Structure 1
């Protein structure tokens, strides 16, 4: 039996802050939705969200955008089962019949955000456009002239509607679409390196990398690590805040770095000092969502390695955590990794996605994008991968809250 994965894709505003998450149903036997029946896909997603996972664990306080097929819309029960935190994304296959328009209008009156998905202009769709809060345009399907024409027509009918550009793959394209006047943006561009790379790593980022290098040096023992942390007052405070957070789950209050090292061990504290060091870096033009991606990958790689019975799960945590450091620093991965005391296995996983670590990392990246056919690590079953992925997302959100608080 195929395993159902819940995909989460961020939706950004013009400042590259996460506005919402679109939730998608994915099957582990396909790179697409893996279902012929849209209604069955949405029903499976809603069942998982409402009974198994919990909406807050997936999106926190953000709005959750959910695809709504025609059959489910016409049943007239969405308003009874979904919180208004859910935005209703009307699929492009939904016919704009009077019955559909009536149901969409009723849901809008109940307080739901109405989103039109993969929109292409037809006269018949005018009543739906007039009700829309957000209209999504596929930038791979339309050239700039067609996009501008759609945008003008939409604003004539719905002046307050927001326009979303979807399927953006490159940062440069995001900049162009910003200039065209789009309000929201969706695609994997935020986690891809820019074409232009910095020749030198800025001094402030270099200092952070030096700290990460010292913390992860296998020659550094417990007393030296405690001293490194203690020398940085802000890092000490953040470390203690993290150790006492729900993400760790200790029952007793920890009052010193030395106590934290004793309770949690050298490797665990190394991980969290590395996490907090990265959190304190200047993200520049990058979205804060990038840090969440790095955290999710780190936790997922660690959990999966434990499930597979691999040695040193902390190694896989490091692979996931540093997997987007090149995007964050706008520098070549090989150049950055060369500054750190990492094993050849870790370097191969990060630079070339090779070895077991590379397979687990590529699996994490496939799950991010809903590309089930690109899952490379098959030593654990799909159900276990899904559980690890959901746990990793929840954990990453909690750690991110801790880091933001400091």
Structure 2
């Protein structure tokens, strides 16, 4: 059957992560194989507004499966609030006009929560879109997992593994700050996999006394080092500035905040009287080659997108539900954030291996 989509545009938006190139490749190869032209849009939504595009051929997407980042480039610009010559302007109509000018039937957007919302705004303004869930944070609604998450979790886990060596050699406590925005999936997964003794998440505001008591108890049992995995959005209980503290550094314009790990290390050292060091992994978690899991996931999502485009299915996100790739209405995704629920099995797993989660938790059956 002839494809219902003659031409697509594809862009990557928001922070980079492993698996983007693999997803671009999956979409492009599946679409091209069914007779659809593929236009690559450079540097996210800004490239769409500035009409910076290139026709993608097979040679452009060959050999990129294993490479990190995105060869199309990315940006955090939003069409409805885009800085233009020092002034923030609504460029939605320009973006749609450029899509029409290039005969784009559907705009394929690879990105996280912000991208899902921006794609939804374009859809509401009259442009057909299709999205894929990309983020190391794993916080996009409507999908079991996002691509980029597994690779980043592997990097964070290796970092914790390495910190064990120094912590045990010097009998220290070491705080490791892990990305994840306002969701704790990354810190929780890497913390469990790396054997962290304390895991602090945005979803569970921590009680410093509870954390210190756990660390002191470890010392009483002759466990002379501890690893504390801290999500960048972790906040203490009863903190009047909790909302401001939970803001990732890149979101606070013109302000460089103290790393969360630094604050937590100082609090623990002052309260417990033990030597504490800290490290903030930062953007190293976004880089490098994707894991086999992310390569497979990105390729599956990309090729499923190609099938949906062939059938003319638009204004959905391609997500994972169990073992299946599914089309999720974009309206059910945009504006929603998937955080760690209070009864999630990973939390119970952590608790059963005597990991402190920052406060007392009761698990409901």
TM-score by length of 1: 0.30
Higher relative contact order (CA 8 A, sep 6+): 2
| Higher relative helix content | 1
TM-score by length of 2: 0.32
| Higher relative strand content | 2
